[in-house]
A and B are shown apart, each in its own frame.
Chain A
Amino acid sequence: MNFLRSASTAPQFRSPATVRDTVLAERGAVDPVSWPAYVAVAPLAVPLMLAVVVVAGWAVDVHPFWSTPDVTLSEAAAIRDAGELYRLLVYEHQDPNRPWPVRAGMDGTEPDNVLPLEMAVRVKRAEIVRILLDHGATVGDAAARTRLICIAVTTNERDVLDALLATGDRTDPRAKCPSSSE
């Protein structure tokens, strides 16, 4: 029979039992005796099913594995999401100089209302501080600036401290910080 010769392997030297299994397999009939072997490949169905969900969702613009929850400016700073922070500042024109809510768990156990710049200093991210300062955030009056610099001192993050010291009148108020280490 031609279809028996069309299998992927050329004639080989096998036991009668193996030949029987192969012939059944070549005919496409699942040998009920050997079913556990095919069940062994079943785990590969999991990524296939996930892939089906992804591709079907893509086709109808539903994205179950690409969730992008809305965040505020201060939340974006808290979770180091520089890209989202940039989008909110530059394309959504959100105000970087007002406190924004931060949900519980992002920076402390309680919900909070924080200035984005203060949050960036708390989480010790110099690049977030730079983006905020480059896009309209101000350190406020002298007292507010000193307060931010004192927070930076406690976090001991050199780049953040340098960025803040370069703002306003460029004075160094670290001596005024309580129990300052520098």
Chain B
Amino acid sequence: MVNPIHTDRRWRTVAYVNAIVVSLALGYFIAGNPLQVNDSLANMVQVQKAGLREILVDQFTSQGFLRPLLWAQLDITFDLARGRYYETYKAIHIAQVLLAGLLVVSLLRVRTLPSACGAVFAVAVLFGSRTFAGTVYEGFPINTYLTIVLCCLSAAWLALGSGRRWRDVSAVLLFAFAALTVETGLLVWVVLAAAWIAGARGVSSKGLLVTTALLVGYFILRFGPLDVGTPALDERSSGFGFQVIERDQLAVMFADRRYLFYAYNVLSQLAAVLFAEPKSGVFAVTRDAIDGSILPYQVIAVCASTGATILIAWLVATRWRERREGLRSNRTSTFTDTDRLAVIFIAVLGANALVSYPYTKDVIMSPAGAFHALAAGAALATLLERLSVRPARRLVLSIVLCALCATWSIRLVAINYALREHAWIVRNDWTEVFGVNAPIDFTADSRAVALARTLQEQAILRRVPASYFAQPHAYRVLEIPW
């Protein structure tokens, strides 16, 4: 007979090895991308100019955004890099991706073959989804969105563990760190609260109370003494219907109906995670289907995300029914970790869509996308554990699952392929850094010029595959999300 303890370790090891290998492969393509010019260079020049104290003061007095720790991270890592910017920021990025993969496997509590299958599926959904794409294509030079994904996953990991004092302290610090890094960091509180409501006590009631007090303090500070407010309607261009509306047009179109625009943003962000349509607020698949110009990758994306959502819906419906039956027959029916992941996903999905009301962008929904992957992985594991013994039904289900896994396999390959294409674009951008389209004003700033020259040399000397040599029809199947 197989030793059950060894069996537990074996499947867990399989899941972790898969996550590490897939993360490192993604890391390989991230490392192949030069540091980007847009956003990244301007941010680096800013932390080069100002000291940490000056940056923090500036952030606490700015309008629209409250992100002091984002800038603190940039400033500290910039100083620590000591000129080795490419190596430093790529190492941070790859470590973040690896940690995300490991946290997903850890949260799925892999012990059996079905749960290992669920974990492999969850990693594919995490890295293959469009909401995650923006966390690896870009770096500012640290990708803040990925930082928040990690904070949310870490919060879930803290909450779903066994109750310890250090978990409470970590949860409070994690929330403070995330909330002051970027606005979506507030989702850490949502994760902790949803897990607590679902019965998880890794973070105690006291820990949650302190975090809630910090959340209230954040809002008082933001809308009170600091008067940071919220982003204006014309802060950025945004997708609406079948097109992207430019900033000035947005202000004209929705000046008297801004709540209509905000409601559209919230609903389209929800749909983007659940069905991969719309794409950054634009109903591109619908538009292209009407035009007759739809490509296979668009169908694959919609089928993959919708399939994962159906799996989650099945899990929620099944567990809901079982709980009701259990309560009716006076048997105890506690929440399992699988149930808690589903509850956290639903809570994060709603809250994430709400906080992204000002404008639509897929990557803003990356925390919800991460929990979508977790819930889908947990649902698949549960489904595999409960397969009917009737051969016909099992065969049909197997074929459907096979098709679903195939779509996510393609999406996982696609993100690596797209990163390879992206490297060529970023390297080309560096050729014009001092040209007519220079992203920043270099006049009278010799240190900025020296920094840009260093980064330009690092980017240009690192050879990347030219788009010309790519497979000519790959773009039809593999999504390039820009």
A3-49 contacts to B, CB under 8 A, are 3, 6-10, 12-14, 17-18, 20-22, 25-30, 33-34, 36-44, 46-48
Within 424-482 of B, Cβ neighbours of A (below 8 Å) are at 424, 427-428, 430-432, 435-436, 459-461, 463-469
Whether A83 contacts B430 by the Cβ 8 Å rule is: yes
Stretch at the interface among A65-73, A110-118, A136-144, A172-180: A65-73
Question: Complex formed: what's the CA distance from A28 to B5 in Å?
Answer: 10
Please provide the chain B residues from 317 to 337 with a CB less than 8 Å away from any CB of chain A in the complex.
Answer: 322, 325-326, 331, 333-337
If the complex has contacts A8-B381, A12-B322, are A66 and B32 also in contact, measured as CB distance less than 8 A? yes
Of the residues B322, B402, B467, contact of A42 by C-beta under 8 Å: B402
Q: Are B322 and A28 in contact (CB under 8 A)?
A: no
A20 to B110, CA, bound (A): 19
**Whole-angstrom CA separation of A21 from B2 in the bound complex:** 16
Instruction: State whether the Cβ of B4 lies closer than 8 Å to any Cβ in chain A.
Output: yes
Interface members, chain A 72-102 (any B CB < 8 Å): 79-87, 90-91
Given contacts A48-B18, A58-B24, 12 further A-B contacts (CB under 8 A): A8-B111, A28-B112, A28-B113, A36-B394, A38-B117, A58-B28, A66-B32, A66-B464, A79-B466, A81-B467, A83-B427, A127-B432
**Chain B binding surface, main DSSP class:** helix
Query: How far apart sit A158 and B460, CA to CA, in the bound complex (Å)?
Result: 28
Within 8 Å CB of A151, what residues of B? none
Complex alpha-carbon distance, A83 and B456, angstroms: 10
Binding site for A on B (CB under 8 A): 2, 4-5, 7-8, 10-11, 18, 21-22, 24-25, 28-29, 32, 108-115, 117, 120-121, 124, 322, 325-326, 331, 333-338, 380-382, 384-389, 391, 394-395, 397-402, 405-406, 408-409, 412-413, 416, 420, 424, 427-428, 430-432, 435-436, 459-461, 463-469
**Contact residue among A14, A29, A58, A83 (Cβ-Cβ distance under 8 Å from B386):** A14
A selection of 21 A-B contacts at a CB cut-off of 8 Å is A8-B109, A9-B337, A12-B336, A13-B333, A17-B389, A18-B387, A21-B385, A25-B385, A37-B384, A38-B113, A39-B402, A40-B405, A42-B402, A43-B409, A47-B409, A55-B24, A55-B25, A66-B420, A66-B465, A80-B468, A83-B431
**Are the CB atoms of B331 and A13 closer together than 8 Å?**
yes
Contacts A26-B112, A47-B124, A130-B435 known; A65 to B420 CB distance under 8 Å?
yes
- Categorize the interface residue count of chain A: 35 or more
Q: Is the CB of A40 within 8 A of B112?
A: no
Asked if A28 contacts B4 (CB within 8 A), the reply is yes
Interface residue? A106 (CB, 8 A): yes
Complex Cα distance A115/B115, Å?
Answer: 61
A111-152 contacts to B, CB under 8 A, are 127, 130-131, 134
A130 to B121 CA separation, bound complex (whole angstroms): 48
Contact assessment for A84 and B463 in the assembled complex, using a CB-CB cutoff below 8 Å: yes
Q: How far, in whole Å, are A37 and B25 apart by their CA atoms in the complex?
A: 27
Which of B18, B112, B336, B431 is within 8 Å of A82, CB to CB? B431
Query: What is the minimal beta-carbon distance from B365 to any residue of chain A, in angstroms?
Result: 23
Q: Note all chain B residues with C-beta closer than 8 A to A1.
A: 4
Taking CB atoms, residues of chain A closer than 8 Å to B124 are 44, 47
Contacts of A27 in B (CB 8 A): 2, 4, 7
Q: How far is the CB of A71 from chain B (nearest CB, A)?
A: 7
